[in-house]
Amino acid sequence: MEKKTFVTKEQVEEIVKSYPTPFHLYDEKGIRENIKALRDAFSWNNGFKEYFAVKATPNPFLINILREYGCGCDCSSYTELMLSEAIGAIGKDIMFSSNDTPMEEYVYANQLGAIINLDDITHIDFLEEAIGTFPETMSCRYNPGGLFKISNDIMDNPGDSKYGLTTEQLYEAFKILKSKGVKEFGIHAFLASNTVTNEYYPTLAKVLFELAVDLQKETGVHIKFINLSGGIGIPYQPGQEGNDIKVIGEGVRKVYEEVLTAAGMGDVAIYTELGRFMMGPYGCLVTKAIHEKHTYKEYIGVDACAVNLMRPAMYGAYHHITVLGKEEEPRDYQYDVTGSLCENNDKFAIDRMLPKVEMGDYMVIHDTGAHGFAMGYNYNGKLKSAELLLKEDGNVELIRRAEKPMDYYATFDFSDFHKKIKEISERESKI
């Protein structure tokens, strides 16, 4: 089965006249339609807010699209906080959810007025040392331990996760924070990753809502918000049914009324921190077939590599591949699709059935809009690609230029070596 692309062969042939492959391409129309659907699905909750997971796609041009619909930023590092500040997302538009956090990051987050979400009970004293007086609003990340199940299906193993406070620690932390002047509290949890089921959020919500009712009763704190975090996934496989955000939102609403409203806590705001769901399907990696190899297997070598998309090499993750212009042709050739790194795991696909690939064919690697470009690195001296935005009107905008060799060597700018590299770069640019 063929997954549909949001870009055509003809469009790519026009784009490469200005921007050579490989590049990441994002679909503005799809991004806008998706955030509208999310907002509509949770419109029943007056305080609802999406904090986009910056780590998934740290591009200010894309995040600014989401900002038009009221989204904030979920940040987990100093540089992500800088990005957020630079685009005007400050104060309660930032949820700072980090772990093993350096002191300077807490200081910066507090200066910006971010909502700080603590990952460990020992961070209370650490945060106090860093910033002195606590802000009026604080959150804690919860880890119930054990296995997280939906019906009889095991979704993930929180007990094996490094994140969050235990149940006992959460109660104790809220009491301590209350004694230190915190007035509004939030609960945060991320218990399963990339779930493709409409039941995940409602199931998680029920756990957190019941916890919130008991916490408020036992500690006397005021629960201001519950952050369901991320975990809503996307259908990477062809033919795989995706999540229905409208059904998910209705499922959370039902549990909200049954648990929170019934307990007199109908003022609790619902927050989300979606990354993959918000951007994943609306980005792709466009690459070109440049080599074929016939040994013990059939190989197609492309001009992208794991530097551009790490997930297949790192996790064995499936990303569908479309050979542009051959969407209707039978997939009757078996290939490994590879990059040029000196690593045997630099493969976008193994034993993948595709139409016959010819040199110069353009290939779309699907669903790279989240955790695609962001996970890139520079092994083998490979340079990161450009990021482009396919606008609603069909035009293409450069939203991140491709790296140049001088970018790779920029941190040697204190040395004579940097001067030599600059001379070489200038010489080569004239050839």
Domain coordinates in residue numbering, the chain: 28-280, 283-400, 405-431
Q: Please report which confidence band the pLDDT of residue 428 belongs to, taking 50, 70 and 90 as the band edges.
A: confident
Q: Which residue has the tokens 């003809």?
A: 10
CATH architecture of 28-280: Alpha-Beta Barrel (3.20)
For residue 68, what is the enclosing H or E element? none
Q: What is the pLDDT of residue 356?
A: 98
Strand ranges in 151-282 using DSSP code E only, listed in sequence order:
153-156, 184-188, 222-227, 269-272
Identity of the amino acid at 172? E
225: closest CA among 122, 90, 72, 104? 72
Q: What is the pLDDT of residue 295?
A: 98
pLDDT in tens, 249-281: 999 999 999 999 999 999 999 999 999 999 999
pLDDT in tens, 39-83: 999 999 999 999 999 999 999 999 999 999 999 999 999 999 999
Q: What is the mean pLDDT of residues 191-220?
A: 94
Question: How far, in Å, CA of 4 to CA of 366, rounded?
Answer: 9
Q: What is the pLDDT of residue 283?
A: 98
Beta bridge mates, 287: 363
Question: How far, in Å, CA of 301 to CA of 157, rounded?
Answer: 37
pLDDT in tens, 323-346: 999 999 999 999 999 999 999 999
Question: How far, in Å, CA of 206 to CA of 353, rounded?
Answer: 42
Across 83-92, 151-160, 398-407, least confident range: 151-160
Q: Please report which confidence band the pLDDT of residue 153 belongs to, taking 50, 70 and 90 as the band edges.
A: low
What CATH superfamily classification does 283-400 receive?
A: Lyase, Ornithine Decarboxylase; Chain A, domain 1 (2.40.37.10)
Q: Is the pLDDT of residue 229 over 90?
A: yes
Q: Please report which confidence band the pLDDT of residue 374 belongs to, taking 50, 70 and 90 as the band edges.
A: very high
Q: Is the pLDDT of residue 178 over 90?
A: yes
Q: Residue 127 in contact with residue 133, Cβ under 8 Å?
A: no
Residue 6's contacts (CB-CB under 8 Å, 6 or more residues apart) are 27, 29, 30, 282, 284, 390
Residue 195 DSSP symbol:
B
pLDDT in tens, 4-41: 999 999 999 999 999 999 999 999 999 999 999 999 99
Q: What is the mean pLDDT of residues 287-314?
A: 97
Q: Please report which confidence band the pLDDT of residue 155 belongs to, taking 50, 70 and 90 as the band edges.
A: low
- On average, the pLDDT of the chain sits at 95
Across 75-84, 92-101, 154-163, least confident range: 154-163
Q: Please report which confidence band the pLDDT of residue 429 belongs to, taking 50, 70 and 90 as the band edges.
A: confident
User: Which residues in 251-276 are b (16+ Cβ under 10 Å) and which e?
Assistant: bbbebbeebbeebebeebebbbbbbb
